[in-house]
Structure 1
Amino acid sequence: MELSCDVLLPGDQDRDAEGVVLALSAPISFWGGVDPKTGDIIDARHPQRGECVAGRVLALPGTIGSSSASAVLLELVHAGKAPAAILMTEPDAILLLGLVVAREMGWATPPALRVGAQDQRRIADRRVVVDRQGRLSLAG
C-alpha cells in the first residue's frame, strides 16, 4: 500500500521518516496533553493517555487549540522525543510553527503531511516509511 500525501513541512532532507503509526482517536491539545520531556500523552481525558508520541508516526484527527502547542512541539524536538512524522487531516499553523522554529534552530525535525482521517485509520499500528516526496508506504 502506498499513499501520496501533501507535504505541509518537509523534515530532514537527508533521510526518510519511519515508525509505527499512533493514530489518535480524538483531537489533542499539546499544551497540557503531551509531556514535552517524555512525549507521553498525559491528558487524563484523552483515549490514548499513557501512549508515547516519541519516535512514532503521529496521526492527528485534529488538535485542540492553544498557541502553546508550537512551544511544546519545539520542546519535544529539542528533547529528542518528537514524533518521527506528523500526519494531519488539516494543517495546523500553530503546531507547524514549532517545527519551523526547530528547523531554524538547526535541530532535526520530523516531516508533517496532510493525510485524510480514513487513511490515518487504515494505517493505524502499522510500521510506515515517509519519503521526502510525501509518499507513505508500509515498511518491509
Structure 2
Amino acid sequence: MRDIETELRPILLHGRGVVGGVAEGEALVTRETISGWGGVNAMTGTVIESRHELKGTSFAGKVLVFPGAKGSSGWSGVFHTARLAGTAPLAMVFTTMTTKVALGCVVMRVPSVVDLDRDPFALIESGDRVRVDGDAGTVTIWKRER
C-alpha cells in the first residue's frame, strides 16, 4: 500500500549555493563527471562523449545533477557557449567543487548548489521535479510517479 502523505512531502537538501537564483524543472542525473571540451555539443546541449552514460542526451532545460567537471579548462567555454545558444541546463547540482565547474556555473548564470547534507544520487532520479535555490543553498525534490 502506498503512503500518500509521504509521496506528497518534498525532500529538502541543504548545501552551499555557488550561483544565486532559483530554477525548477525535470532532473537529469548522471553519476559520471562531464567533459566540456569534446564531451558536449554546446549548440544542442547534448553529451557526445563516446563512453558516457548520457551519450546522445541533452541537458538543455533540465536540472543537471552530476558529480562535477573533468577535462581541460575548455569546460567553461563550452558551457558558456551553451548558455548563448539557449541549450544550457536550468540549474546544476553537483558534489565535487573544482575551478572548472565553478567557472562553468558562473558563465552559464544558472542557480547551482554543492556540498549537500545528503547524497543527491541516492535521492534524485532522472525525471524527478527539482527546485534549486542558489540563494538559500537548498535543493527540493518531488519524486516522479512510478
* TM-score category (smaller protein): 0.7 to 0.9
Give the secondary-structure state (helix, strand or coil) at the position aligned to 2:47: coil
Distance 1:110 1:85 in 2: 5
Relative to total residues, which structure has the larger strand share, 1 or 2? 2
Q: After superposition, what is the alpha-carbon deviation per residue over 1:55-95, rounded to whole angstroms, capped at 9, x for unaligned?
A: 11111123212100010011011111111111111212123
Structure 2 unpaired stretches of 5+: 1-10
Give the corresponding residue for 1:105: none
Q: Say whether residues 1:70 and 2:70 are aligned partners.
A: no
Q: Is residue 49 from structure 1 mapped to residue 49 from structure 2 by the alignment?
A: no
TM-score by length of 2: 0.79
Aligned to 2:112: 112
Between the aligned partners of 1:74 and 1:50, the Cα distance in structure 2 is 20
Measure, in 2, the Cα distance between the counterparts of 1:110 and 1:120.
20
State which structure, 1 or 2, has the greater radius of gyration over its C-alpha atoms: 2
Cα-Cα RMSD: 2.0
Find the partner of 1:127 among 126, 129, 141. 129
Q: Where in structure 1 are there 5+ consecutive unaligned residues? A: 103-108
Alignment match, 2:141? 138
The reply on whether 1:80 has 2:55 as its aligned counterpart is no
Length-normalised TM-score, structure 1: 0.82
Q: What amino acid is aligned across from residue 113 of structure 2 in structure 1?
A: L
Amino acid at match of 1:7: G
Q: Report percent identity of matched pairs.
A: 35
1:6 matches 2:16 = yes
